[in-house]
Amino acid sequence: MSTPRVRIAPSPTGNLHVGTARAALFNYLFAENQSGTFILRIEDTDLERSDKKYEQNIFDGLRWLGINPDEGPEQGGPHAPYRQTERTAVYEKHIRQLLAESKAFYCFHSEKELTAEKERMMAEKLPVLHGCAYRDMPPAEAEARVADISDFIIRFKTPQGRSIVFPDLIRGDVAFSSDLIGDFSIAKRPDVPLYNFAVVVDDHAMNITHVIRGEDHIANTPKQILIAEALGFPAVAYAHLPLILGADRSKLSKRHGAMSVDEYRQQGYLPEALFNFMALLGWNPGGDQEIFSKEELIRSFSLEKVQKSGAIFDLKKLDWMNGEYIRALSVEELLVHAKDFLPKSHTLYPASYVLKVLALEQPRLKKLSELAERVDYFFGASAYEKDLLRWKSISDEDIAVSLEYCEQILRSLGKGASKDTIENTFMEAIGEGDKGPILWPLRVALSGKKASPGPFEIMAILGVDESIGRVQAALQKVR
């Protein structure tokens, strides 16, 4: 068997979506496992919707995830160009070949006629397909008509009464009747191909051996097989990945939390976590292991272990997995990832101070976007309402007494007191009984938040002087 060559061929009509990224990932893992070649091709023939900014977003998203093509628009390669708009001469050559061999033909039905036909078939609950009356028009007559009008399309002359069977590497044999396909369109003009035609020509030109893509493309496969056969191209192997579903088992959408790869990046997910999570959307090597390194995934990957049923996109699992990856980082590594998520004022503080803040929050984080709200009080006192200082129903006078006592204890400490020293000193001074009336106002005075780490951890980072200043500010609120 030849060395596998696989590809991902997104359209630059929007940002890189998690579904496209998952397909790219499975192609990449397969190629790496088989010592093959992974190609990125840009299908930009939809000129109205394609945009260079989306193309760049695709490049950036794959690079951020660590899904690195061997060939593509950025990398170059022996089968360049890798953009469809730069390959029109190749498509026109093959379109004209099919027209000359009467394997394709010009269709002159108007859009109005085609719409009426579709509506009639739907009303009669018939398969929606087009068996074209122009398929047997003499080529000379069709060419003469094309010279005079612009309202036409080029269709493939689908053979009738044939069963098209192909082995799917995930699903087994899949069969279609050609009578349920109809004469499908393959080009607007000889130099303007449509998807099903261009993808076949490109896959052949780039020596693609395996087409690994979502199951929503299954219906395209018999059409592409027919085109390849008509052009004399060798067969490729197909593998159709399960759909990604929401928790309610409907097709994944934004209401399930699905976002573009760029949005996951902005939310503070680590690329390694998203890589790992997507690899398990429809594939698992067996066993209970869920955290895999990139190298483990490459070594373990096989199409035989891709499931047929839909893969559930569990956002809670992604959050858990991202938290695991965050906790696996050294605090220095976490700072590299976290810089853009910290309050801007963090740059005014020594790196050693910022590292202490991150070390405190690291065990609790699920994603880096949580950082700004969690740690803002370490980089400037927070505004809060006086009533937040109140433990249960204690009076303002009692709050003031508690805060004054805390200030006294703080003043007894050395400036560089450790968390353990601070905690031991406070607990010994407070003694037995309910500690809430003292520690709740103290913690709120330090953080300005209803929920935060404990006061001893906070004071150890803020330092004694800053802690005293915040307690005094709280006293001003209740006096």
- Residues with a known catalytic role: 254
What is d(CA 470, CA 275) in angstroms, rounded to the nearest whole number? Answer: 43
Taking the CA atoms of residue 324, residue 326, residue 330 and residue 336 in that order, the dihedral angle to the nearest 10 degrees is 160
| Nearest residue to 229 (alpha-carbon basis) of 210, 205, 207, 204 | 204
Residues with Cβ within 8 Å of 472's Cβ and at least 6 positions away in sequence, in order, are 407
Q: Are 212 and 303 in contact (CB under 8 A)?
A: yes
CB atoms within 10 A of CB 355: 15
The pair of three-digit structure tokens given for residue 305, joined into one six-digit string? 């272990």
User: CA 201 → CA 234, 241, 253, distances in Å?
Assistant: 11, 22, 32
Burial readout 329-348 (b: 16 or more C-beta within 10 A, e: otherwise): beeeebbebbeebbbeebee
| Nearest residue to 159 (alpha-carbon basis) of 143, 124, 183 | 183
Query: In this structure, what are the phi and psi dihedrals at residue 157, rounded to the nearest 5 degrees?
Result: -85, 95
What's the length of the chain? Answer: 479
Helix-, strand-, coil-residue percentages of the chain, each rounded to 5 = 55, 10, 35
